[in-house]
Amino acid sequence: MELVSIIIPYFKKREYITATLNSVLKQTYKNFEILIIYDDQEKEDLKFLKKLIRQDKRISLIINKKSIGAGLSRNNGIQKSKGKFISFIDADDLWKKNKLELQVQFMKNKNYLISHTNYEVIDKEHNILSHRIAKNFNNVDDLLKSCDIGLSSVIVKKEILKKECLFASLKTKEDFVLWLKILKKDIRIGGLQKNLMYWRKLDNSLSSSVLQKIKDGYCVYNKFMKFNLLKSVYFLFLLGFNSLFK
């Protein structure tokens, strides 16, 4: 049973982190380590987190010297991880108990280096708002028009996360950049069509900021995909249009 490194960036999610951790600790797949990357300069939740992680020796706390954002915090965790597989979960999301077991087996059976799963969108009170279906992505064109991969559902083999293939320094869409980079390397992304996690939609989250999404979405296409102005705006329009139907 290979070691899975689970990376959780943390910034002011005290209300949710206990449930998130419990959903990881209850996994049927037991060979894992948890790396919490503390990214809050104010340090107001640090004492609480230090007490929380005492419940299991598999949990480590990494404290950023300064706030660097979720993407670069995950890169920090990747660098310090020991697992053959890397899995991501945000500090307010939840996993179903057989998530790791089923997904690692799926990747082995299908020979995938990276995979994602179906998931359910929930609100603050855990009411289910919608369902998302995991698709197979075979090339970069399959994903360009819509980021249809739930970050907290992803497992990836560490071997493909090299210096040029990590999370971008963006406030949102940092994961979108990584998935596109991976596809550009002709690495397929497998979709496991089982509901194995819950993504919590919060009104005050960065991912809900329309202006920030527009700014970062343009950056995805112009800076990272090297598209010209018109092509970047065209794909940004498609990205926004498709997000309306999720």
Decide: helix, strand or coil at residue 192.
strand
The gap between the terminal CA atoms of the chain, to the nearest Å, is 36
Mean pLDDT to the nearest integer, 45-70? 94
Between these two residues, 245 and 97, which has the higher pLDDT value? Answer: 97
Mean pLDDT to the nearest integer, 138-148? 96
Q: Which domains does the chain have, with CATH numbers?
A: 4-204 (3.90.550.10)
Mean pLDDT to the nearest integer, 227-239? 97
What's the length of the chain? 246
pLDDT band at residue 82 under the 50/70/90 scheme: very high
Between these two residues, 126 and 210, which has the higher pLDDT value? Answer: 126
CA distances from 63 to 11, 25, 29, 81 (A): 11, 21, 27, 14
| Percent of the chain whose pLDDT exceeds 70 | 98
Q: Give every CB contact of residue 76 below 8 A, 6+ residues apart in sequence.
A: 37, 62, 64, 68
